[in-house]
Amino acid sequence: MNAAIRIVLDKAIAGERLTVAEGVSLFDCKDLNALGQAADAVTRRLHPERERTYNIDRNINYTNVCAAVCDFCAFYRKAGDSEAYVLTPETLYKKIDETIALGGDQALLQGGNHPSLKLDWYEAMLSDLKSRYPKFNLHAFSAPEIWNFTKINKLPLRDVLQRLKAAGMGSLPGGGGEILVDRVREAITKNKCLTDEWLEVHRVWHQLGGRSTCTMMFGHIETLAERIEHLDRLRQLQDETGGFTAFICWTLQPDRTDMAEVPPAGSYEYLRTQAIARLYLDNIPNIQSSWVTQGLKIGQLALLFGANDMGSLMIEENVVASAGTVHYLTLEQIKTAIRELGYVPRQRNVFYEYVDGVAV
């Protein structure tokens, strides 16, 4: 390792903010262990506690109908396709009942950019679920979906978010971020919000007192510098609002998509990118492992490369699974993965508050 990179790593470990150029330079580091050790040092400084966390929730895709076209998505269908669906209230109840029975406290409600459902439909869905399950968090709608709501309903973004919040939306997921660089977004998506629009949804939600997560899907056509540009846009917004609770990154799952010719990014690329994200995102408190795309062992190793959270038990996941990537863990496997690294597993909610009462 050259001396310049060592200086950058030591700077991040000490809690000093990295510049964009320093962030990009970390991709020149060929010593994966050194990146991991530095990221782990930052994680331990931010999270000196004995605990590492997980949550229990479910991804409920209330519809697969989407007017956007994303080259990396194998899940969406067009309106009128034989496989297109919108879930009934009874199906939603059944899924939430199953989640609660397994100890879960929230569902991620996410669909596509549906071309015809109006805002009052979403309000009715949220209100119905919130009245039926008042203590159950609705982690609902990605930024592209919400931007689509503003277009279909011809309403200001703030009005849309205020109405959704009043109806029962509890938190905002970070989906649809991909790479927050318009060159990339315009190349791999159509009819979908661009960078400033994605950020504005989260900005306004934070201004309304809401909390959200942020994400990055990488390993396709973006440059290494564009990965840092993405992280920098998130860091800037977090400086402004403080509303992000966690960052989650994963690699493109190209099978069965229009990007199937893209060579899959492997575990090395995942671990080094997550480690660099931990070093760069000095103001986002939590990083989740992506065992859903990486599998148990790399998901566990991610806890030594900047993550302090194993993410969700993920009772149901459809989007990544549509691309052929299917990893399932039991609750005991998640707890064991945490214990094997010398930590105490604790269940948390979307706000990173412990909900299990005592350490287990």
Burial grade of 178 (CB within 10 A; 0-12, 13-18, 19 or more): buried
Residue 185 main-chain phi, psi, to 5 deg = -60, -40
Instruction: Give the torsion through C-alpha atoms of 250, 256, 262, 265, to 10 deg.
Output: 30
Reply yes or no on whether the pLDDT at 230 is more than 70.
yes
Q: What pLDDT shows up at residue 359?
A: 45
Q: pLDDT (tens digit, 9 = 90+) per residue, 95-133? A: 999 999 989 999 999 987 888 899 999 999 999 999 999
What sign does the CA torsion over 227, 232, 237, 243 have? positive
Q: How far apart are the first and last CA of the chain?
A: 40
- Residue 327 pLDDT greater than 80, yes or no: no
**Any residues with CB less than 8 A from the CB of 141 and at least 6 apart, and which?**
109, 110, 111, 122, 149, 164, 169, 172, 173
Place of tokens 């997921």: 173
What is the DSSP pairing of strand 189-190 with strand 212-218? unpaired
User: Would the pLDDT of 208 be above 90?
Assistant: yes
CB 56 within 8 Å of CB 104: yes
Mean pLDDT throughout 9-22? 98
Model pLDDT, residue 71 = 64
Phi, psi of 102 (to 5 degrees): -95, 10
- CB-CB contact of 140 with 109 (8 Å): yes
Mean pLDDT of 193-198: 96
**pLDDT on residue 249:** 96
pLDDT band at 222 (very low <50, low <70, confident <90, very high): very high
Amino acid of residue 308: N
Cα separations in angstroms, 13 against 19, 187, 285, 317: 14, 36, 15, 35
Mean pLDDT of 297-306: 97
Q: Which whole number is the average pLDDT over 200-227?
A: 97
Q: How far, CA to CA in Å, does 165 sit from each of 127, 141, 158, 162, 243?
A: 10, 11, 10, 5, 15
- Torsion sign (Cα): 272, 277, 282, 283: negative
pLDDT at 195 over 60: yes
> How high is the pLDDT of residue 276?
98
Give me the pLDDT at residue 76, please.
Answer: 64
Looking at residue 75, its pLDDT comes to 67
Q: Quick one: tokens of 31? A: 């010593």
360/353 Cα distance (integer angstroms): 15
Mean pLDDT in residue range 328-334: 89
Domains of the chain: 3-347 (3.20.20.70)
For residue 58, with 0-12 CB atoms within 10 Å meaning exposed, 13-18 middle and 19 or more buried, which class applies?
buried
pLDDT at 185 over 70: yes
Supply the pLDDT for residue 313. Answer: 83
Residue 321 pLDDT level (bands cut at 50, 70, 90) = very low
Closest CA to 192 of 165, 163, 217, 167: 217
What share of the chain in percent tops pLDDT 70?
A: 93
Helices (H) and strands (E) in the chain, counts: 15, 11
* 57: enclosing H helix or E strand: strand 57-60
Percent pLDDT > 90 in the chain is 77
Q: How far apart are CA 149 and CA 20, in angstroms?
A: 34
Strand ordering across the sheet containing 51-55: 212-218, 244-251, 286-288, 309-312, 51-55, 344-347
Structural tokens at position 238:
């977090």
Reported as a pLDDT band with limits 50, 70 and 90, residue 323 is: very low
pLDDT, one tens digit per residue, over 29-81 is 999 999 999 999 999 999 999 999 999 998 899 988 887 667 667 666 777 77
pLDDT of residue 335: 96
d(CA 26, CA 36): 12
How large is the average pLDDT for residues 238-256? 92
What's the mean pLDDT when you consider all of the chain?
A: 91
Confidence (pLDDT) at 129: 98
- Is pLDDT above 70 for 269? yes
Note the pLDDT of residue 138: 98
- pLDDT-based confidence at residue 332 (cuts at 50, 70, 90): very high
Contacts of 180 (CB under 8 A, 6+ apart): 195, 198, 199, 216, 229, 230, 233, 234
Q: What is the pLDDT of residue 320?
A: 45
